[in-house]
Structure 1
Amino acid sequence: MTSIHQAAVYDSDRRFLAVALPFIQDGLAKGDPVMVATTSANLELLGNALGRDGRLIDYAESGFLGRRTVERATAFHRYWQRRAPEAPCGGHVRIIAEPVWTGRAACEVRAWQRMEASLNLLLRGTNVWMLCPYDERVLDPEVMRSARRTHPAMSADGYTALDCSEYIDPVEFIRECDSVLPLEPPEDAATVHADTLHSLRAFITGQASFLGLSPDRAALLAVVVNEIAALLEVPVTVRLWERLGAITCHVHREGGRVADPVAGFLPPGATAKPGDGLWIARQLCDRLDIHHDLGGCTIQLQVPSARAEELRQSRKY
């Protein structure tokens, strides 16, 4: 099986339809499963253009597939697992995937750019054909440049594609992302140099409770940090603090390294492997960044503070 990962740049509704419609219609004609994840405005355009054929595709607004990069990667992987048996011999599982870029902090944009590069590795061994639209009207030039660096090819008509001259090896791009310094811990951050996982869990649970997290959420944070420390291997230095509705945990291991650049992006399989715990951590955190330098490896994560979580829960009622 061969995967395809392409970008498509558009600057008008007409140009969006010019690339998306042929991609979808060709897939339907060949019996390929088709999913579309894009903006609500683009979904309306496609619905009007496809008519009754629109019932034959799976669709969702971009945000529906998750706020976190790992949620999106997992959703794509599970969709492929579920629909691949329906694809004809030599066919594909087609996905139009347009992330939400606007309004994100720089660290979030970098995480999503990292995911775009990671998809070139995660999709290997699948028959996924993924087309990623980029709206030139609203996106920052740096995001547009990263599209050309993280996609092997660009498509203008939904059928054919031209190689991207700026495309670089995804591992190299991921290393660039991981070289960016994480948030600097403040002077008042609680700090521990943990030689055992047991002492680390006790520290995290105590600090989380002090910051007002419920016993269940304090325990979950302890599980997350435990999985990260187990991956890096103790001893680790951990700093924890609260700012702007988020609790940040900074885990550093001298000489440590996360060898697999896409560790933690796909659900664990039947056979345990390094990085399985990182998938759990990514699921439970709002943000998780990895940084490598000559001093070792730092994994920094964020979860909602007690008051931020209270606000989130209030939306459910």
Structure 2
Amino acid sequence: MRITGTPAGTAARLEHAVGYHASRTHLLGQLAPLALAAADRGEPVALAVTGDTEAALRAELGPDVALHALAPPTDAGSGQTVALQLGRQLRELTRGAGPVTLLSEHRSELDGPDGSFWTELDAAVNVALSELPVRMTCFYPEMPLHLCVLDGARENHPLVLVDGELRHNPLHRPPRDVLAGHPVAPPLLLGVPDLTVGFQSWELQEVRSAVRGIAGAAGFTDDRVDDVVLAVNEVATNAVEHGGPQAELQVWATGGGLVCEVHDAGELTDPLPGLTSPHPSEPRGRGLWIARQVCDLLHVWSDDRGTHVRVRAAP
């Protein structure tokens, strides 16, 4: 197999490619040469694959090729959040070390009800990892259970691996255009909330007080209470500034912490907000970025009723 592409040492930004496999043997036959080529360039090789695939790859390559297994997603309900988790891990590998090769594998158990998780994830990766020196190749089965998995894969990747060669993908589209045709799915419904607060712009203090009270009652430490209040305040402020004068907060206290949703009637113009850090010179646009940093999950979606943001935080 011949591996071509950007020469060693010149990957200043994300290079996002897709490959397809007809069988497990076919998959391993493509992963191993990519890992060997990266090792020859002196690049770390990161893996976001199943345990079985990792074990087979390590057995084939032997101890001379160092492989870094990334932590699996903590929540497959939000491709946006998973993309940020990948970014945090890859920043540790790229820090002072130059480019990193990342090999990723589709996992059907993360599909959700319709497979749209993968389309959202790849689109979010194109935003959240855009400035990282990462050569990422995502492998998908030629016949997945949900055909929309392939639709998203074809449109989200600027490069496609064909017979060991990276080629430009003529079907590639910008991530926000992809999600305009494949909207982000709403998360699973949670039932009747423990707290509902309607608010307008001058009532944000009531929002902060309500969240502080329920977080404290749920056993959050003082520092963690501050985190949750900060995150919800940023989301709520964004809702009344951009979504209309009236918004609503709903809160669920669960065994794993708090889930907070903010709903407004505005139109969602950016399906992937807050995935990149605003430039220090930008006075605004930090709210959702800050909220994503302090919470375990932040998921944004829209429907005919408006824009919705779910935040989840553990104690």
- Do both proteins adopt the same fold according to a TM-score greater than 0.5, normalized to the shorter chain? yes
Aligned partner letter, 1:60: A
1:297 corresponding residue in structure 2? 307
Matches of 2:296 and 2:29, distance apart in 1: 36
Deviation at residue 19 of structure 1 after TM alignment: 1.1
Alignment partner of 1:200 out of 194, 204, 207:
207
5 Å-filtered alignment, 1:133-148, equals 133-135=139-141, 140-148=146-154
Q: Which runs of 5+ in 2 are unaligned?
A: 1-11, 76-80
**TM superposition score normalised by structure 2:** 0.74
Matches of 1:219 and 1:125, distance apart in 2: 30
SS of the residue 1:6 aligns to: strand
1:60 corresponding residue in structure 2? 69
1:172 corresponding residue in structure 2? 177
Alignment partner of 2:155 out of 149, 171, 175:
149
Q: Residue 261 and residue 273 in structure 1: after superposition, are their counterparts in 2 closer, same or farther (change >3 A)?
A: farther
Q: Does 1:35 align with 2:42?
A: no
CA contact (8 A) 2:110 2:117 kept: no
2:56 corresponding residue in structure 1? 45
Deviation at residue 132 of structure 1 after TM alignment: 1.0
5 Å-filtered alignment, 1:78-89, equals 78-84=92-98
Q: Residue 273 and residue 97 in structure 1: after superposition, are their counterparts in 2 closer, same or farther (change >3 A)?
A: farther
Matches of 1:179 and 1:17, distance apart in 2: 31
Q: Does 1:222 align with 2:236?
A: no
User: More deviation in 244-253 or 225-234?
Assistant: 244-253
**TM superposition score normalised by structure 1:** 0.73
SS of the residue 2:34 aligns to: helix
Q: Residue 82 and residue 278 in structure 1: after superposition, are their counterparts in 2 closer, same or farther (change >3 A)?
A: farther
CA contact (8 A) 2:46 2:68 kept: yes
1:98 corresponding residue in structure 2? 105
Alignment partner of 1:116 out of 109, 118, 122:
122
Q: Residue 172 and residue 244 in structure 1: after superposition, are their counterparts in 2 closer, same or farther (change >3 A)?
A: farther
Aligned partner letter, 1:26: A
Deviation at residue 228 of structure 1 after TM alignment: 1.1
Matches of 1:3 and 1:139, distance apart in 2: 28
Matches of 2:135 and 2:15, distance apart in 1: 5
Q: Residue 95 and residue 275 in structure 1: after superposition, are their counterparts in 2 closer, same or farther (change >3 A)?
A: farther
CA contact (8 A) 1:205 1:218 kept: yes
1:75 corresponding residue in structure 2? 89
Matches of 1:50 and 1:239, distance apart in 2: 51
State the identity as a percent: 25
Q: Residue 101 and residue 178 in structure 1: after superposition, are their counterparts in 2 closer, same or farther (change >3 A)?
A: same
Alignment partner of 2:195 out of 190, 193, 208:
190
Q: Residue 52 and residue 209 in structure 1: after superposition, are their counterparts in 2 closer, same or farther (change >3 A)?
A: closer
Deviation at residue 202 of structure 1 after TM alignment: 0.2
Q: Residue 273 and residue 129 in structure 1: after superposition, are their counterparts in 2 closer, same or farther (change >3 A)?
A: farther
Matches of 2:196 and 2:256, distance apart in 1: 20
CA contact (8 A) 1:263 1:275 kept: no
What does the per-residue CA deviation read over 1:94-114, in whole Å, with 9 as the maximum and x for residues that have no partner?
Answer: 22133654156449x645531
1:7 corresponding residue in structure 2? 18
Matches of 2:174 and 2:180, distance apart in 1: 10
Deviation at residue 147 of structure 1 after TM alignment: 2.1
SS of the residue 1:35 aligns to: strand
Aligned partner letter, 1:289: H
5 Å-filtered alignment, 1:233-252, equals 233=240, 235=245, 236-242=247-253, 247-252=258-263
CA contact (8 A) 2:116 2:184 kept: no
Matches of 2:271 and 2:237, distance apart in 1: 17
Matches of 2:85 and 2:283, distance apart in 1: 20
Alignment partner of 2:239 out of 223, 232, 245:
232
Deviation at residue 162 of structure 1 after TM alignment: 6.3
Matches of 1:261 and 1:241, distance apart in 2: 24
What does the per-residue CA deviation read over 1:231-264, in whole Å, with 9 as the maximum and x for residues that have no partner?
Answer: 334553212234686643221233364x554433
Q: Residue 26 and residue 110 in structure 1: after superposition, are their counterparts in 2 closer, same or farther (change >3 A)?
A: same
Deviation at residue 294 of structure 1 after TM alignment: 6.0
